[in-house]
Structure 1
């Protein structure tokens, strides 16, 4: 994996890296731009945030400022964990005005690897600390988990799309802003 930091995303999807489409490719039914994705992800994030807060409060765990700070500090490491799941070049972009950081890599991935790539940071910074925090009654870990999990909602949407749209044996790849799948020969 070679990570290339591209800086602020200029909003022009044609400037994102891409390669030629595979034969018989199918575009995922997903957000067509960053704004649409942000709106969908924020709706899911609010629902998830409320659910995780209710569970934590019922367990006697409360919000902690250090946990909130740690969740914000996990933004770039979150994207790095996505990036290490790629074997080839991967590009990191920021769109902080809309609260978005993302990586783009153009290599093919199996459905399983795509799901792992999408979930890895959410497990490491979100779900894992949340569960551990609940078990050991640590408000910092629980708070980190709550906010890091809800900040990863765009990834959960990608996983949902892969599970519901990719037939068995297909491979996926990114092309500019969107995901596509195809059946290899």
Structure 2
């Protein structure tokens, strides 16, 4: 592509360029001029990239050409010796759900080359194939308003019954403790008065 600035390849070169077809049959080129874009290409392959590293070029490319009959025919015309009837047919883009024809190869690989998941459950085939000896399952169930209201009323009634049973015992224990403390206080006061009387004599 004449619009690109080509460079020499180094171990760290990650640059990519548009893939093109050049008519170099009549011209012998040295190795260092293989990336030279002159003379201009006879056909630029849409979506395809080339570069020093095949991995970088592959990840930066897309499959746009494979969905275009014009692109495939022009490419095959220059690189294929097969008759036109045997040239590849374009892919059908209407069957794609998530991937676009111009989606990069890297984005397609990020989705594991899967355009759409179809989740089909067939428990009879599963049991026939796996033949499990035991199967457990969990059912998630949300409580209804009536159930929650009944639970609250039942808890309230149980709390009242419990308090009616425990409250008299608490009152009796409180009275016993109060009497014991009162009696102890009176005894201490009486003992102190006796001691003061002895000291005065």
Shorter-chain TM range is: under 0.3
Higher normalized helix content (fraction of residues): 1
Q: Give the TM-score normalised by the residue count of structure 1.
A: 0.24
Higher normalized strand content (fraction of residues): 1
Q: Which has the higher contact order (CA 8 A, sep 6+)?
A: 1
| Bigger CA radius of gyration | 2
